[in-house]
Structures are given as C-alpha cells and as structure tokens.
Amino acid sequence: MTPLTAETVEIHDGLLIPYVEQGDPDGVPLVLLHGITDSHRSYEPVLAALPDSIRAVAITARGHGDAGKPETGYDADQMAADVIAVMDALGIDRAIVAGHSMGSWTARRVAVLYPERVLGVVLAGAFASFHDKPEMDGLLEEFDALADPIDPAYARAWQDSTLGRSVPEAFMEMIVEETCKPPARVWRAAMRGLVDARLEPAGSVTVPALLCWGQKDAFVPDADQERLLARIPDAELRVYEGGGHALHWERPERFANDLAEFAALRIAA
C-alpha cells in the first residue's frame, strides 16, 4: 500500500495541520478524524478501500503526528474549531464527519456546534460520556508518568490493547512510529481533554449518525452505544463481531463500505 502524499494547511494562530485527500473533488466530502496518539495515517487502509466517488480528507489533530504541537487547545471545542478551519481552508461547505475514539468525540462536538456544516456523523468506538469511566483517571495517571521520548515498546502495548484481532505487522509498525511522535505532554493534554469532559458534549446531535462498535471493544461498553442510540434521533448501530476498539484497522474494507453506504444515503436525502 503506497501512502498518499500529505499536504499541510495553516489554520488559526499559524497552526499547521497535515492532511491527505483523495477521490472526486466534486464528490460527497468525508472528513476522517483519528483517535488519541494516532494521525491521519491510521486511515490509510480505509482510504485504499473507499470508492473514488467520495472526496475523502483525513486530517491529523493538533499535537499529533507531524501537526503543530501547541501547549493548549486539546479540549473538544477547540478540536472541533480546528476541523471547521480545515474545511474552510479546503473549500468544503458541508461534509460527513467520521471519527474514531477521541475523533468521535470531536465529530460529535462538530455536529453540535456547527450542524449546518455537517451532512452526517460516523462514530467509531464512541464513548457516550466520561463521567462514568473511572478507569480513565487511572489511564491519565499512567500518562502522567510518561517521559520523552515515548518508549516504542509502551506505544506498541498501548496500540495492541485496542485490538480484538490481528492487523498486518507492517501497518502496526507504522502506527507505533506515529504514536511516538506526540510528546508526553500531548498524551496528557489530549487525555485530560477527554477526562475533564465528564458530561457529554452540551447540546444534541441532530444530524444522521452511524455508530460502528467492535463487539470486543475493551474501552467502550455496549451500554454506551445504547445510550447514544437513545440520545441521537436519527442513529443506526452496526456491530463488528469480534472487533476491538480499533475496528477500522481490523476491518478496513468493511468500515470503508459502511462509510460509502452512509454517504450514498446522505446524497439520496
């Protein structure tokens, strides 16, 4: 698999955000948001399986990968503002916004704050809230003990914990390399941005939503998916049998198909 060449866009305060783009420039826009400590490269297998009819844009969040690494701004509101700024820079008026884990939290916030910019949201491995997740405090304590440079063995164990089934070794080696790029302070700040969000993002998601959840997700229980279904009026759940938290790595073709099907429905609507 040959990775796409990353471009860089400058948004507010001179922050540099890497992204990759593929597909028909006039196709339905799809913005892909990665999880904590990942980068846009985590979507490479999914991008390879998407149809050319979709204008897919995968971006790297502040502090992650090769993006700028400011001291602040790792809360959901600022992350959402970053997404809108990238869309503005790329001339995207409305898009389907898809996010995994931390990225799903950002995607929800984009949908709440900027509903006029969102055709629909895809939430993969999505938490309903964090106020009932005491284990996150333990994870933050673990991150507090991290030092630079990030130990590749720790990064590998961290990413292995998200899996319910194996992925190609070459892909995981790349993921570990990307995982080591955020400094320890970004690991802490990004996790703090989630842990401090004890209540779900204020406001309701009113756009159509697709929930994708791995049956063996070690981080997000099925109860969270039920709560999301109850709170989002137009939502559908798709369960990945045997899948872990990183279901888009384990089943990239299926996830790409689900994204394409969701996009087709948004066009038809």
2 in a domain, yes or no?
A: no
In a domain, 90, yes or no: yes
Give the pLDDT confidence score for residue 220 in this predicted structure: 95
Question: Can you give the pLDDT at residue 184?
Answer: 98
What confidence tens digit (pLDDT) does each residue in 24-79 have? 999 999 999 999 999 999 999 999 999 999 999 999 999 999 999 999 999 999 99
pLDDT at 201 over 70: no
Cβ partners under 8 Å of residue 269, min gap 6: 208
pLDDT of residue 162: 97
* Cα–Cα dist 88/151, whole Å: 36
Q: What confidence score (pLDDT) does residue 198 get?
A: 55
Domain range spanning residue 164? Answer: 7-268
Query: What pLDDT is recorded for position 204?
Result: 85
| 1 occurs within a structural domain | no
First to last CA, the chain: 34
pLDDT at 202: 52
Residue 133 pLDDT more than 90? Answer: no
Q: What is the mean pLDDT of the chain?
A: 94
Q: What are phi and psi of 10, to 5 degrees?
A: -100, 125
Task: Please compute Rg for the chain using Cα positions.
Answer: 17
Helix and strand tally (H, E) in the chain?
10, 8
Average pLDDT over residues 230-236: 94
* CATH number of the domain to which 227 belongs: 3.40.50.1820
What is d(CA 267, CA 29) in angstroms, rounded to the nearest whole number? 11
Instruction: Tell me the H-state helices in the chain.
Output: 44-49, 76-89, 102-113, 135-144, 152-160, 169-179, 184-195, 222-231, 247-250, 252-268
Please compute the mean of the pLDDT values over residues 132-153 and round it to a whole number: 91
Query: CB atoms < 10 A from the CB of 132, how many?
Result: 13
What pLDDT does 195 receive? 83
Counting the structural domains of the chain, the total is 1
| Residue 26 lies inside a defined structural domain of this protein | yes
Checking if the pLDDT of 200 tops 70, the result is no
Residue 174 lies in a domain: yes
Q: Quick: pLDDT tens for 145-186.
A: 999 999 999 999 999 999 999 999 999 999 999 999 999 999
